[in-house]
A and B are shown apart, each in its own frame.
Chain A
């Protein structure tokens, strides 16, 4: 029984990791509190719904179209709001408030177009795989395999490819990055495109399993932010560590107590971590936290 919960926790953790990577890509490189990621998450889900259900395309094609469109939206938020604010020398808090504003606008526009009720992508009962005493449903298998492969590819990318090193350089010291002659604007564009892709992937994998409604974004985003902090701030790979840890801890909470309290556990853990070890499990220690 415990193994079933652990496997569920790991799979949920992979989803948290994907969203955490999407958030951390923007947060680490631009130091912006990218709250609009919640709206981007919802947008991806509804684009997936639009193409898979309303237009009746095959699920895989609809997911790819949704991911591409979401990358566009992510870039749009940067180009239309973040960069102009940065050019006006606005502080990060001002950008965060603008981000909250954008999130409200996008989520409610989606709700106006599609309705406030919960929708589902695929109502059929999915096949499930049984490995020993553990049952994994078909959507969970997709989450595990697709999510796992993308995470592995990302870890290789961020560690070894030239663009990955550029991302890490930009997050370490943006002034030095520009001084050394790298094109910050292009790097930023790529960051936002990639962030949009990760958020869209997390969204599509999740809503294929559990359905969608316009207000689901903030809750998931907060879990992803906590995952990022638990893993460690400042680094990208630690998002995966944090995501899986959070997923497993939530599953253990459900196993031990009840599912009502899994959110509370997340935030108690966040507060404890912020007070005692703000750099998370494996993050960079900062002088002023």
Chain B
């Protein structure tokens, strides 16, 4: 039962991550390869505040969101200056830079040694979230709230403007919308929520190291997003996160040796991506095609 709860918690974390990626990819048509970088930055900043201060969760979450959002300004600037493939390359570069800094700046981040013993989240400064049942409930509430937030976001005027940018950016600009600012906000919000996911991950696993936030992780998040579906609907990312988190557990019943199972899982994801690009490029539940 506890193992199922563990899967549930990871599912909630990935739902938040994939939802945040959907904001930039699905709603504003900006393919980013650096979501794991924001995830990592959020995790490390959250760890710093968790370990050195005794603040309630909401306050730490807000600080993490703000700080991670600030790091997204580099990417926002990149999206203005770079178009298409160059932007993807820029986000790739940003991802690798963040990873290299996390790995090598040993004085601050302890590099490959990682940071162990991260305390758990304190709700309202008093009740500490301990035990896997509490964490599962907390993660579930958080994931549902984030999903509701994104649902409201895409129905709001801001969401409509993002849809306009996705459909035809030039027309949106011609009609007087400040697309630069809109896209910058999209990145900010996307990075902020990825940071929150990092905070929850750090406090749940209570140990972080840079190897959880590599380019492979970014590609994994993108895979989950494309399998589930990009676009304005919230269900696409949720289904995508569910597929990539639950599928390896189902593979367990096939009874493969451990060494092969991890690779086979990746093969299935890769095949799913290729087949989906042929048959349904917007993903299973998506409603937006990539330009």
Chain A interface (Cβ < 8 Å from any Cβ of B):
31, 33, 81, 84-85, 88, 90-98, 100-109, 111-112, 115-116, 215, 218, 222, 225-226, 229, 260-261, 263-264, 266-268, 270-271, 274-275, 278, 288-289
Query: A84 to chain B: which residues have CB within 8 Å?
Result: 278
Contacting pair A274 B81 (CB below 8 A): yes
Query: B84 to chain A: which residues have CB within 8 Å?
Result: 92
Query: What's the dominant secondary structure at chain A's contact region?
Result: helix
Determine which of A91, A104, A115, A289 lies in contact with B219 in the assembled complex, contact meaning CB atoms within 8 Å.
Answer: A104
Contacting pair B226 A274 (CB below 8 A): no
Is residue B113 within 8 Å, beta carbon to beta carbon, of the partner chain?
no
Interface string of B91-114 (1 = CB under 8 A from A): 011101100110110000000000
Query: What's the dominant secondary structure at chain B's contact region?
Result: helix
Is residue B140 within 8 Å, beta carbon to beta carbon, of the partner chain?
no
Max chain B C-beta neighbours (<10 A), residue from A96, A107, A218, A264: A264
Determine which of B89, B104, B263 lies in contact with A225 in the assembled complex, contact meaning CB atoms within 8 Å.
Answer: B89
Query: A112 to chain B: which residues have CB within 8 Å?
Result: 260, 263-264, 267
Q: In angstroms, how far is the closest chain A Cβ from the Cβ of B256?
A: 10
Q: In angstroms, how far is the closest chain A Cβ from the Cβ of B72?
A: 14
Contacting pair B270 A105 (CB below 8 A): yes
Contacting pair A101 B267 (CB below 8 A): no
Contacting pair B270 A111 (CB below 8 A): no
Give bound CA distance, A289 to B103, whole Å: 31
Determine which of B100, B263, B267 lies in contact with A264 in the assembled complex, contact meaning CB atoms within 8 Å.
Answer: B100
Closest 7 CB pairs of A and B: A101-B273, A104-B270, A105-B270, A101-B274, A98-B277, A93-B290, A108-B266
Query: A81 to chain B: which residues have CB within 8 Å?
Result: 274
Contacting pair B278 A101 (CB below 8 A): no
Tally of B interface residues using CB under 8 Å:
46
Supposing A91-B291, A116-B259 touch, asked if A109 and B93 sit within 8 A by C-beta, the answer is no
Determine which of B93, B100, B273 lies in contact with A98 in the assembled complex, contact meaning CB atoms within 8 Å.
Answer: B273
Q: In angstroms, how far is the closest chain B Cβ from the Cβ of A82?
A: 11
Give bound CA distance, A97 to B291, whole Å: 12
Q: In angstroms, how far is the closest chain A Cβ from the Cβ of B132?
A: 30
Contacting pair B86 A274 (CB below 8 A): yes
Is residue B195 within 8 Å, beta carbon to beta carbon, of the partner chain?
no
Q: Which B residue's beta carbon lies closest to that of A233? A: B86
Max chain A C-beta neighbours (<10 A), residue from B89, B90, B219: B89
Query: B271 to chain A: which residues have CB within 8 Å?
Result: 101, 105
User: 18 A-B contacts, Cβ less than 8 Å apart?
Assistant: A90-B277, A97-B273, A97-B277, A97-B290, A98-B274, A98-B278, A101-B223, A101-B272, A103-B270, A112-B263, A116-B263, A261-B104, A263-B100, A264-B97, A267-B97, A274-B81, A274-B86, A274-B90
Query: A88 to chain B: which residues have CB within 8 Å?
Result: 278
Q: Which A residue's beta carbon lies closest to that of B29? A: A93
Give bound CA distance, A264 to B93, whole Å: 9
Contacting pair A267 B269 (CB below 8 A): no
Interface string of B222-259 (1 = CB under 8 A from A): 11001000000000000000000000000000000001
Is residue B73 within 8 Å, beta carbon to beta carbon, of the partner chain?
no
Q: Which A residue's beta carbon lies closest to that of B90? A: A274
Is residue B55 within 8 Å, beta carbon to beta carbon, of the partner chain?
no
Considering only residues 70-85 of chain B, those with a C-beta below 8 Å from chain A are 74, 77-78, 81-85
Assuming A81-B274, A93-B291, what are 10 further A-B pairs, CB within 8 angstroms?
A: A97-B273, A97-B277, A98-B277, A105-B267, A108-B270, A222-B96, A226-B93, A267-B100, A271-B97, A278-B81
Q: In angstroms, how far is the closest chain A Cβ from the Cβ of B214?
A: 9
Give bound CA distance, A53 to B282, whole Å: 44
